[in-house]
Amino acid sequence: MEEYMEFVKAIAGFAFSCMAFAFAPFVVDAGTDVPAQHGSGSTDRHIVAVLARADLPDLAIQNVDSGPRPASLNTTVTITTVIVNNGPAAVAAFNVTWSAVPLWQPGLGALYGGNWAVAGLPAGNSITLTATQVVTQPGALRLLVTADPLDLISETTKSNNSGQGEIGVLGTVQYCGNISGDATWAYAVFVPTCDLTIQSGATLTVSNGAVVKPMSGVGIFINGWMNAVGDATSPVVFTSYRNDSYGGDTNNDGSGSHPVAGDWLAIHIYAGGAATIDYARIRYGGGYRYLYTQNVVRNEGGTLHLTYATVEFGAGLGIYVTSGSTLTVQDSIIQGNAGNGIDFTQTSGVTAPTIRNTAFISNVGYAA
């Protein structure tokens, strides 16, 4: 301690050799501001670099989970987290908070939240915390857990004090407007009730098992990015609002209606936009709009990667591609559309589309 005090005195004496200097003994952790009191009464602050103390606790979020996932709407979900103290010292009482933020629209605040009061945690030990929540919002919610959120405890590191998980809830979400940030559509049925525009710089992720049912005449327009990626057993589905085969009876009319070609407009990718569509079914698009070529998927100068996908039963072209676009279609099926399977307009110097291992079945017109 005496050597340390002499070191601090030497620094202060060098900077202020003509001033009186006095201080009281104190303990310094790594990165602590050291106040230097001068004869004038003013206080300057100097950062003293000291090695991190080895006798501190280290809280870490080891796991964050919820169940069941997905849960039915208006049922109870159990939230679970595991916290471990990796440090060599025990930690006294501390708080832990959790919050759940809907992901289907950017910028939404926490819908649910709570906290735990932990009496303490010995070095090398862990604790499992649980909470319950009745879920009233369909879709995916990001679950965030933070230990010592007010930063009241000195630890060897703070970077592992937070962890994330997910809550998934079944149901139907109606949406009208733009996607202006990052959004995730998962677990639920999503019904665009007016044109959906993914703005430049924004990303819409449509996860496996999600069903998107645009209402009559509604289109999906992409200036940013759309990643619609399912899997072999749980594909992403874009289909008619009247299609009960996917997502159930969304329009609540029993067997009173059935899907037909052209029930909704299209997926439309503009220049600068991009869409990756894997393990997906795109059905009953190609609706009519004045001065709009009827097609199920349109790539107008953007980038489209379509793999393990089916584009079917459209009231126009299956895929319409204008010059300047990038198109890859692989391991897919284009069938039952009222126009060419793929209609590609190419000018000199433009790269041709890449089409591999793709079946064209019963389209009206050419395959591609």
- Give the whole-angstrom CA distance, residue 217 versus residue 193: 9
Considering the domain architecture, whether residues 64 and 99 belong to the same structural domain is answered as yes
Helix (H) or strand (E) holding 2: helix 2-15
Mean pLDDT (the chain) is 88
pLDDT at 119 over 90: yes
Of the candidates 201, 167, 337, which has an alpha carbon nearest to the alpha carbon of residue 261? 337
Helix (H) or strand (E) holding 15: helix 2-15
Could you tell me if residue 53 is inside a domain?
A: no
pTM of the model: 0.84
Considering the domain architecture, whether residues 187 and 290 belong to the same structural domain is answered as yes
Task: Tokens for 285, please give them.
Answer: 């698009």
- At 250-294, the pLDDT tens digits run 999 998 999 999 999 999 999 999 999 999 999 999 999 999 999
The residue among 137, 153, 168 that closes a domain is 168
- At 137-194, the pLDDT tens digits run 999 999 999 999 999 999 999 999 999 999 999 999 999 999 999 999 999 999 999 9
Could you tell me if residue 41 is inside a domain?
A: yes
Considering the domain architecture, whether residues 64 and 89 belong to the same structural domain is answered as yes
Could you tell me if residue 115 is inside a domain?
A: yes
Considering the domain architecture, whether residues 125 and 212 belong to the same structural domain is answered as no
Could you tell me if residue 305 is inside a domain?
A: yes
pLDDT of residue 81: 98
Considering the domain architecture, whether residues 219 and 327 belong to the same structural domain is answered as yes
Could you tell me if residue 366 is inside a domain?
A: no
- Give the whole-angstrom CA distance, residue 256 versus residue 250: 12
Considering the domain architecture, whether residues 138 and 189 belong to the same structural domain is answered as no
Considering the domain architecture, whether residues 276 and 255 belong to the same structural domain is answered as yes
Considering the domain architecture, whether residues 97 and 140 belong to the same structural domain is answered as yes
111: pLDDT confidence band, cut at 50, 70 and 90?
very high
Could you tell me if residue 114 is inside a domain?
A: yes
When pLDDT is averaged across residues 30-49 and rounded to a whole number, the result is 44
Considering the domain architecture, whether residues 203 and 345 belong to the same structural domain is answered as yes
We report the CATH number of the domain holding residue 64 as: 2.60.40.10
The domain of 6 spans 2-47
- Give the whole-angstrom CA distance, residue 221 versus residue 238: 14
The residue among 168, 188, 220 that closes a domain is 168
Task: Tokens for 22, please give them.
Answer: 């006095």
- Give the whole-angstrom CA distance, residue 123 versus residue 85: 5
pLDDT at 18 over 60: no
Could you tell me if residue 321 is inside a domain?
A: yes
Cis omega (within 30 of 0) for bond into 35 = no
Considering the domain architecture, whether residues 193 and 148 belong to the same structural domain is answered as no
Considering the domain architecture, whether residues 203 and 330 belong to the same structural domain is answered as yes
- Total residue length of the chain: 368
pLDDT of residue 360: 97
Could you tell me if residue 54 is inside a domain?
A: no
348: pLDDT confidence band, cut at 50, 70 and 90?
low
Considering the domain architecture, whether residues 219 and 339 belong to the same structural domain is answered as yes
Map residue 330 onto helix, strand or coil. Answer: strand
The residue among 142, 168, 194 that closes a domain is 168
Domain count, the chain: 3
We report the CATH number of the domain holding residue 250 as: 2.160.20
